[in-house]
A and B are shown apart, each in its own frame.
Chain A
Amino acid sequence: MADNQVIVGDNLTKRFGILTAVDGISFSVSRGDVFGFLGPNGAGKTTTMKMIQCISPRTAGSLTVLGMDTAAHPREIKAELGVLPQETNLDPEFTCRENLVTYARYFDIPVSEARRRADELLSFVQLREKRDVPIDKLSGGMKRRLLLARALINDPKILILDEPTIGLDPQGRHLIWEKLKALQAAGNTIVLTTHYLEEAERLCNRLVIMDEGKILVEGSPADLVSRYVGSDIVEAEHTPEVVSCLQEMGVQFEIYGDMVQVTTDRPREVAKRLFETCNPGHVFARRGSLEDVFLKLTGRVLRD
Chain B
Amino acid sequence: MTDEGDGDGGNGYILPRLSRSCLKVWRRNWDVFFKTYQVNFLPPFIEPVLYLLAIGFGLGIFVGEIDGIPYVEFIAPALLSISMMNSAFFECTYSSYVRMYYQKTFDAMIATPLSIDDVIAGELFWGATRSLIYSSVMLLVLIGFGVVSLPSSLLVIPFSFIAGLLFACIAMCFTAITPSIDALNYPSFLFITPMFLFSGTFFPLSILPGLVQVLAVALLPLTQLVIVTRSLTLADLSPLFLYSLAWIGLVTAIFFVVSTWLMRRRLIV
Contacts and interface: CB of A to CB of B under 8 A. Distances in A.
Interface stretch (B28-36, B78-86, B185-193, B218-226): B28-36
B7 A59 contact: yes
A62 B24 contact: no
A91 B103 contact: yes
Contacts of A205: none
Given A16-B269, A56-B269, A93-B32, A103 B6 contact: no
B3 A102 contact: no
Given A93-B32, A102-B31, A57 B112 contact: no
A295 interface: no
B11 to A, nearest CB: 9
A103 B112 contact: yes
Given A10-B1, A59-B4, A106-B113, A91 B105 contact: yes
Contact of B113 (A61, A79, A85, A91): A79
A112 interface: no
B114 interface: yes
A258 to B, nearest CB: 43
Sort chain A's interface into a size bin: 35 or more
A270 interface: no
Contact of A60 (B7, B111, B114, B269): B7
Contact of B6 (A10, A53, A57, A89): A57
A71 B3 contact: yes
A83 B111 contact: yes
Nearest to A134: B35
Interface in B1-35: 1-4, 6-10, 21, 24, 27-28, 31-32, 35
**Chain A CB within 10 Å, residue with most, of B8, B28, B111:** B111
A5 to B, nearest CB: 16
A106 B115 CA distance: 11
Contact of B103 (A78, A85, A89, A103): A89
**Chain A CB within 10 Å, residue with most, of B27, B107, B112:** B112
B31 A58 contact: no
B1 A58 contact: no
A57 B10 contact: yes
Interface in B105-164: 105, 107-115
Contact of B115 (A60, A75, A79, A105): A75
A156 B103 CA distance: 24
Interface in A90-122: 90-94, 98, 102-103, 105-108
A81 B111 contact: yes
Contact of A55 (B24, B32, B36, B268): B268
A16 B9 CA distance: 9
A219 interface: no
Contacts of A42: none
A91 B108 contact: yes
A58 B104 contact: no
Interface string A121-148: 0000000000000000000000000000
A106 B24 CA distance: 6
Contacts of B31: 94, 98, 102
A55 B6 contact: no
B7 A15 contact: yes
Contacts of B113: 75-76, 78-79, 106-108
A248 interface: no
Given A89-B105, A91-B105, A92-B103, A61 B111 contact: no
Nearest to A82: B111
Contact of A57 (B7, B21, B28, B32): B7
Interface of B: 1-4, 6-10, 21, 24, 27-28, 31-32, 35-36, 103-105, 107-115, 268-269
28 contacts: A10-B1, A53-B111, A55-B110, A57-B6, A57-B7, A57-B8, A57-B10, A58-B6, A61-B1, A62-B1, A71-B3, A85-B107, A85-B108, A85-B111, A89-B103, A89-B104, A89-B107, A91-B28, A91-B105, A93-B35, A93-B36, A98-B31, A102-B31, A103-B108, A105-B27, A106-B21, A106-B24, A107-B113
| Top-10 shortest CB links A-B | A89-B104, A106-B112, A59-B7, A89-B108, A60-B2, A83-B111, A57-B6, A93-B32, A62-B1, A75-B113
